[in-house]
Amino acid sequence: MPLICVIDDDEAMCAAVENLVRSLGFDVRTFASARKFLLSPDRRDTACVISDVQMPDMGGIELQQHLVAEGDTTPIVFMTGLVNERIRAQAMQAGAVSILFKPFTATALIDGLQQALGKRMPTVH
């Protein structure tokens, strides 16, 4: 199964997304910060990142810019509590696959993963 990495400084949100993604049949790793993800050996095997936009130290858009600068094309699905057109435009311009506005539904997350993974998405029952 593809590895999905969830990055959010909100422990409860991280756990909720992890549980949903795991229930879909994915292998999941969670990280409390973008820097921890960048230092992880799991980074190389990641099929998709689900990341919060706003986090201390390094936000999701900064993470995406960092990955792109290194030539890493791992798709990113963003989560944010801010319904802000400027942030949405920045993320999409930088190559985000999808943006989920908190609180989001399980269906919205599944749709974001399907956009990111295409044919590598397991069949959802």
Indicate which CATH number applies to the domain containing 50: 3.40.50.2300
- At residue 122, does pLDDT exceed 70? no
Structure tokens at 96: 């985000």
* pLDDT tens track for 66-99: 998 999 999 999 998 887 788 878 878 877 899 9
Within a domain: residue 81?
A: yes
Number of domains in the chain: 1
Spell out a b/e string for 12-42, using b for 16 or more CB atoms within 10 Å of the CB, else e: ebbebbbebbeebebebbbbebbbebbeeee
Within a domain: residue 116?
A: yes
Within a domain: residue 125?
A: no
Cα angle value 66/30/121 (rounded, 5°): 85
Within a domain: residue 27?
A: yes
Global confidence as pTM = 0.91
Q: Which domain holds residue 49?
A: 3-120
Within a domain: residue 83?
A: yes
3-state secondary structure of 32: coil
pLDDT of residue 125: 47
